[in-house]
């Protein structure tokens, strides 16, 4: 059995992100089998027990995760081509009035806030922004099994075996897609449930079976649903709410 960088092990175990792990190690907040580790690049065996000191645990508890109903016309990440980033919608004025979380808006909650999963500029719905590397890893890691659910309005005539192919059998960028759950909701709307998120995946999948997407809305990520959160407004992920 080979030793692995402790920061990598911590990320794989869901303790924090690798960047956070390095920060905690530098501060002496990481223990391996009870012994403090403070040197970056240190390694351990995968079966050794890694724990965080209380200082690191308190820092993680203070980090926020925000659920935004992103409107069309905003980019998920950094501003581009004159379009505003979704994070610009996170203000005291746009916080959902029915938000039941204990927190109230603080500008410090914007520091390090990053989207955990893309929602392209032409799409709307649930966008998660977080300061917590553990949540980001849950949602966007390559091996994530968290479901993302979308309502998709389409135009055109689907190929005869199109629905079967949407569920399983399509490839993008030379790779076979994971099985999906796709069904008709009405004559012009499909429901997609995916466990992956390639760039513009749903739009490209639909094109492969003869359909054009004219509207796309993400309504769920894991156990978290968009619900009645109005477009352009946001709320905090509450204590006790979990994606898995």
- Catalytic site positions: 120
| DSSP β-ladder status, 211-221 and 224-225 | antiparallel
Q: Are 189 and 154 in contact (CB under 8 A)?
A: yes
Taking the alpha carbons of 163, 195, 221, 244 in that order, is the dihedral positive or negative? positive
CA dihedral of 203, 206, 212, 215, whole degrees rounded to 10: -50
CA distance 181 to 163: 10
How does 119-135 read in b/e, with b if 16+ C-beta sit within 10 Å?
bbbebbbbbbbbbbbbb
DSSP state of 226: -
The residues, ordered by sequence, that sit 6+ positions from 102 with a Cβ below 8 Å of its Cβ are: 238, 239
Running DSSP on this structure, what letter comes out for residue 123? -
User: Residue 136 class from Cβ within 10 Å (0-12 exposed, 13-18 middle, 19+ buried)?
Assistant: buried
């Amino acid at each position: 059995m080979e030793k692995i960088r402790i920061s990598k092990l911590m990320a794989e175990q869901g303790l924090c992100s690798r960047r956070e792990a390095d920060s905690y190690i530098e501060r002496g907040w990481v223990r391996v089998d009870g012994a403090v580790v403070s040197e970056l690049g240190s390694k351990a065996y995968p079966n050794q027990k890694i724990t965080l000191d209380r200082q690191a645990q308190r820092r993680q508890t203070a980090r926020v995760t925000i659920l935004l109903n992103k409107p069309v016309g905003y980019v998920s990440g950094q501003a581009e081509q004159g379009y505003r980033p979704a994070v610009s919608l996170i203000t005291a004025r746009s916080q959902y009035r029915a938000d039941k979380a204990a927190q109230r808006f603080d500008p410090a909650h914007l520091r390090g806030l990053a989207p955990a999963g893309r929602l392209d500029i032409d799409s709307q719905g649930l966008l998660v922004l977080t300061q917590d590397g553990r949540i980001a890893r849950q949602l966007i890691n390559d091996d994530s099994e968290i479901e993302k659910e979308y309502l998709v309005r389409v135009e055109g005539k689907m190929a005869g075996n199109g629905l079967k192919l949407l569920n399983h059998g399509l490839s993008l960028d030379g790779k076979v897609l994971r099985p999906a759950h796709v069904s008709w909701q009405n004559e012009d709307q499909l429901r997609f449930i995916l466990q992956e998120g390639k760039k513009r995946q749903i739009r490209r999948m639909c094109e492969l079976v003869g359909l054009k997407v004219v509207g796309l809305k993400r309504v769920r990520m894991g156990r978290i649903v968009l619900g009645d959160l109005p477009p352009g407004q946001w709320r905090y992920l509450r204590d006790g709410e979990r994606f898995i």
